[in-house]
A = this chain, B = another copy of it.
Amino acid sequence: MSLRHAVLGLLAEGPASGYDLMKLFDVSLANTWPATQSQLYSELGKLAEAGLVAVAAEGPRGRKEYAITDAGRAELRRWITDVEPTRVTRSDMLLRVFFLAQVSPEEARGYLRNQAGLAAERVERLEGIRPFVEDGDDNLSRYGRIALEYGLRLGKAQQEWAEWAESQIK
């Protein structure tokens, strides 16, 4: 049920069309909660039906601009403060680690070395988007910076772990 709240959260900053939201997703939530276009449009339809958003304006090319309603705002706040975040996040990267005995030690080390590299790349990529949120004083930029820091810290921890793990395989 989180896509629904992701959409509500973006609409809380101002009205937008499905098309606008898609672009917004790509520059803000892409690393946290990716969404596809088809998912977005159907979610907007359901949100409208539930009265959490409403079509505020119609434009050219069938454009429908959605705005969050009071009920939508209330639901968003309820979700933030009263709903416990999901416990486990699945990781197929880590799942493979359990089964590394099934490949040769060289391959196992290679796997971990590769993961260390990918984590490093991810960290670099995130560093690369920092300039774009650095001096925004809108809500999404402000909290986006905090989310970015999360990605940076966790990415580094993951890289260090992978390097350590590689050294553990005799």
Contact = CB atoms under 8 A, between A and B. Distances in A.
Number of copies of this protein chain within its complex: 2
Judged by DSSP, the binding face of A is helix
Contact of A12 (B9, B90, B102, B107): B102
A115 B146 contact: no
A157 interface: yes
A128 to B, nearest CB: 16
A111 B142 contact: no
Nearest to A139: B101
Interface size band for A: 35 or more
Interface of A: 2, 5-6, 9, 12, 28-34, 73, 76-77, 79-81, 85-86, 88-103, 107, 110-111, 115, 118, 139-140, 142-144, 146-147, 149-150, 153-154, 156-158, 160-161, 164-165, 168
